[in-house]
Amino acid sequence: MRSEEESTDQTPPTCDLLSLLLKNRRPTGAVNEVWPNLFVGDAATAQDKTLIKNLEITHVVNAADGPRHIDTGPHFYEDTNIQYRGIEAPDCRDFDLSPFFMETADFIHEALRQKGKVLVHCARGISRSATLVLAFLMIKESLPLVEAVEVVRRSRNILPNVRFLNQLCHLDSTLASQRKST
């Protein structure tokens, strides 16, 4: 039989994560603050410079960068002081977003450390951007996956695709093993 500590440290199966993500859904806006000074939003939010200015956003992570997706890029924000990070990630089952987890977590962490405000977005603000924010919370804030999901869901409905959920489960297991060995 497992101890209480081991069972809470266990990465849940993807089906349990999906149940958690689909439970008690309620309407959320185009952009939501999901962690202090960390926002998740959609493409319309990212393209609304007035809203971005009003939110005092200093850094933008576009998880749907590129000409075939949301082609804002650093040129779109060149008349602002916004620091930009683009990831050309399709929201599909065969795309591996995990190589971008650490660099994006570092970018967000550094922005927050400098007292900045970060917008992470994709097309609808529910899959790619949510996955990157969850990875940040796991890597830099040491939250287990389930806790990270619960934190974000307090403010925003999210639903990463199944492949991204599997990548987050793998990250969760890796981070849990690292915590145990230290």
- Written as six digits, the tokens of 13 are 């199966």
Q: How far apart are CA 156 and CA 28, in angstroms?
A: 6
Confirm whether 142 is domain-assigned.
yes
- Residue 34 maps to a domain: yes
pLDDT at residue 181 in the model: 85
Catalytic residue flag (residue 122): yes
Domain-embedded: residue 65: yes
Structure pTM?
A: 0.90
109-132 pLDDT tens trace: 999 999 999 999 999 999 999 999
Residues making up the chain, counted from first to last: 182
Chain segment 7-54, per-residue pLDDT in tens? 456 888 888 888 888 888 877 889 999 999 999 999 999 999 999 999
Q: Determine, yes or no, domain membership for 143.
A: yes
Does 57 reside within a domain? yes
**Structural domain tally of the chain?**
1
Tell how far CA 52 is from the center of its chain: 18
Which range of residues forms the domain containing residue 123? 11-23+30-181
Return the structure tokens found at 147.
């806790």
**CATH number assigned to the domain comprising residue 175:** 3.90.190.10
- Specify if 4 maps to a domain: no
Residue 2 lies in a domain: no
Does residue 3 fall inside a structural domain?
no
